[in-house]
Structure 1
Amino acid sequence: MGTIEVTVSEIGAAGARDARIRLVAADGAPLPAFDAGAHIDVVLPHGLMRQYSLVNGPSDRDAYEICVRRAADSRGASTWIHDTLRVGQALGISAPRCAFALDEAARYVLIAGGIGVTPLISMARALSAQGKPFDFHFYGRSEDDVPYLDVLREGFASGRVFIHLGAQGQRLRDALPDALAVPDADALVYVCGPGGFMDHLKAQSIAAGWQPSQIRSEAFAASAHTGPTDADGTFEVELKSSGKIFIVPADRTIAAVLGDAQIEMSLSCEQGICGSCLTGVVSGRVDHRDEVQSVEEKDAHSHIAICCSRALSPRIVLDL
């Protein structure tokens, strides 16, 4: 899929460490449609590419809005955006992709930690437009740590907003939100934030009686186990279209091996968090290491994130 040329139309503050950025199509046309929870790839100078969730609601196609937190351990992207990006600057982006979509439910519980609030604001806007009920819980250290504090305080037409601040003793580790105290078979829970935050919420919710299939999450960073390790073994990858077989050694990914062979494939984050490289599995079992697929999807072994996941079987046949 080709790159969409956009222009930075607005830059503002969404929090003490967060920059709110509006992007419009260079030709002035409406941008491609998207679902709440979607993200885009943003192509930055020097070959950097990063994924950012869309904050605006799906009905707003005049611009895409993203939010970028200045990261202390930045590999260059957030620092460049905060210090160098200016209104009027041209950028390239991908079309939106959504691996964190809203499924049908009677009601919703949205729970965000830190910058994980961004896709959930888009969801809240979409749900309000449809008149669907939801509770929105945000967890942060202090008011300065709340991106889009003004939006959350303003609230949403069909949802209730609760802001929990650690500085005031309101931490997730002390108690689950009231909305999760009693399991509701007709509800879905969407959570986004740091890995430890999401792991704790999922574990406590399941212990309270919620089904794992009711809890949906999206990661902003890869888990520590996504890359090849010394304990990984060698396996074979066969391509369905040609029958060609490739050896994937312990220290390389499927994507790296296929890339060396000039095999056409889709890649973006290369960390298992965006879903761009999910590839169909014809046969074989997968050692899943992505943060995109649900437990049920992983159990089906029907798709593999070739940027990070590996094979549990001696050979895996891909739909390539």
Structure 2
Amino acid sequence: MSDRELFHRHPANPILTADEWPYPVNTVFNPAAAQLGGTTVILARAEDLTGISHLTVARSPNGVDGWAIDPLPLLSPTDGIASEQWGFEDPRVVFAPELGRWVITCTAYGPAGPAVYLATTEDFLTVERHGIVCHPDDKNAALLPQRVDGKWVLFHRPMTEFGGARGEILLSRSPDLVSWSAPEQVMQPRSGAWWDSVRIGIGPPPLRTEHGWLVIYHGVKATVSGGIYRIGLALTDLDEPSRLLHRLPQWVFGPLAPYEREGDVPNTVFPCGLVHDEAGDQIRLYYGAADTSICLATAQLGDLLAAVLAA
């Protein structure tokens, strides 16, 4: 970790690459993450040799190595369904105690554009498809683990005339995970030359803390060589998640390592998965590096909260 970053890169990075996959793929990246008992589960985006992505499960006893990768995808396009014919991308997962299930949000991609797709699972062995819940163009969706004031809350990034045209983070509410309210603004990209001035998007599902919902998000800066994807922190109110309490001005993790700077999409760190090890108060952040490999960075939750609360 450099003195400008709050996360430590794991020395084993990249922890998963296409070379380790049990069938031919071009790249693996942008994984969701979950802890099931003593097993860390990631749901990885795998881009096959046609360019279409699907989601495949890998399991590890320690979240770092010894990965057992399923031989078949958990979620892949169904023949005849146009809205998913170009694949599934960039999953997030969260356990919802009320449902007794893990909720998967991801991007379904088809001719109409990207849309928010929802599925549920008990064990990451089988999946129940619930379908598209937010229509194109919409992506970067993550659900809070519990209702707030009786409603489910979904952070997402619609890019429509009804909201989100600047590439911002908004939220919608639902009584049933099916019908969703009009988007409400949470955070916008900053203006000018800021590190997150082009667009922003939610990372893993926000983490409940005593101070508020900890939001880890990605931000993009435009340069003459292309975009740079970095990671920032914010905190929203527990009882009103659309109310932004704190937002750190500087980024806390960026593409500095060679495997983050070189790949299909250079200069990219894209976080989708988070595991909180409560015993040691450690955050394990699983992210895609350069849209090419899967990596791990760690931080102490207390350090993240101290930084964002000081903003």
Query: TM-score with structure 1 length normalisation?
Result: 0.30
The structure that is strand-richer by fraction is 2
The structure having more radius of gyration, on CA atoms, is: 1
Pick 1 or 2: higher relative contact order, CA cutoff 8 A, min separation 6: 2
